[in-house]
Amino acid sequence: MPSSLFTVSNFSSVNQVINKAYRTPFKHWDEFSWIRSKPMQQDSISGLPFSPELVPLASHQAIATDPNRWMTVLAYRLLAHLQFTTLLELNHVNPVCSALAQGKAPISLTTEQKNDALRIYCDEGGHALFVENLSKKVKETFNLDHSVIGQPQFERTLDRLILENQTRISPNLIKLFFVSISETLVTKVLKDVPSDPRVAPVVRDVINDHAVDESLHSVYFRHLFPILWHHLSPDEQEKIGQLLPQLVWAFLTPDRQYEYNLLRHLGFNKEEAKAILEEVYLPQEVAAEVKQAAKPTLKMFESSDVFSMLSIQQAFADYELL
């Protein structure tokens, strides 16, 4: 991600001052991060693979009334979450952290901030490793077919947004903002699964190890976001601002393509699969859930003055995030 690919305005003295106020969240990284202090979880999966309440599809009558199907749907949900994590870390978060660590960001970072980006890079590599380890176990335990998962929704949407805007906005700038958003969204999965006593301890422990590290990443990107935003020219803010609500949706919306594939894999025909998904995902409910899950990030946008431009406000309203 060479710096020349970013389209940004000049450094401002205000940004330099804000940046000097940086306080590292990684003071105790050596003692608490998974990669520096914890072993790989080796246990087998004994218990539920996932919290049923976090899998809307599992509550549909066609699934809930068949214990085998129900368990398989939960197991695929775990595998989908793990594969989502691997791709997010390796293909998206780490290329951005690598650029930040090498001083190729569009803003000037202190040595401490660059080294903290490198710490996040190490964390994410560790996450991909423990997630792959657990993926292998869940596939073996429940006899899952990896091809059912496919490319995750967030990656398909991100690729499309980059392609649609390639003549207007630098792809690397879009990727930087996507990562800044995704790193500040702590999902319900990371929050709820570790404390669900029905879920297999190895799954809860892996997701908890991930959540602990991510809570620090979120602090880092919360500090970075307003600096990045105020560094853009008004024209760049307007263009990126139109994309922000779509990036939030890309990360939080249910992956219906994967769930359609899963239903077909479970033996439902095309019409049945589509009908089940329509019953499970009511548009108003999905929009309300995305807005709820996005709350901390929407607050970050607000305190960064993202909504001061009317056209950006409108874009968020169009995506039911205001």
Give the C-alpha separation, 189 to 45, whole Å: 18
Binding mask 192-221 for Fe ion (x = CB under 5 A): ----------------------x--x----
Closer CB to Fe ion, 120 or 286, in the complex: 120
The size of the interface with Fe ion (CB under 5 A), counted in residues, is 4
- In whole angstroms, give the CA distance from residue 73 to residue 50: 9
Whether 31 contacts 216, CB under 8 Å: no
Helix/strand/coil for 48: strand
When asked if residue 119 is in the footprint of Fe ion (CB under 5 A), the reply is no
* Contact between residue 109 and residue 24 where contact means Cβ atoms under 8 Å apart: no
- In the bound state with Fe ion, the residue whose beta carbon lies nearer, of 70 and 221, is 221
299 vs 54: CA distance, rounded Å:
24
- Cβ-count burial of 182 within 10 angstroms (0-12 exposed, 13-18 middle, 19+ buried)? buried
CB nearer to Fe ion: pick between 26 and 70 = 26
Taking CB positions, which residue lies at the least distance from Fe ion? 217
127 binds Fe ion (CB under 5 A): yes
Could you say whether residue 81 binds Fe ion (CB under 5 A)? no
Stretch that binds Fe ion, among 28-36, 102-110, 122-130, 276-284 (CB under 5 A): 122-130
Stretch that binds Fe ion, among 76-84, 119-127, 250-258, 304-312 (CB under 5 A): 119-127
User: By CB neighbour count within 10 A (0-12 exposed, 13-18 middle, 19+ buried), where does 221 fall?
Assistant: buried
CB of 120 to Fe ion, least distance (A): 6
Shortest distance in whole angstroms from residue 100 CB to Fe ion:
12
Q: Which is nearer to Fe ion, 129 or 309 (CB)?
A: 129
User: 199 in helix, strand or coil?
Assistant: strand
User: Of the two residues 123 and 236, which places its CB atom closer to Fe ion in the complex?
Assistant: 123
Nearer to Fe ion, 214 or 259 (CB): 214
**Separation of alpha carbons 260 and 71, rounded Å:** 17
**Residue 69 lies near Fe ion (rule: CB under 5 A):** no
Q: What's the DSSP call for residue 39?
A: P
Q: Which residues bind Fe ion (CB under 5 A)?
A: 124, 127, 214, 217
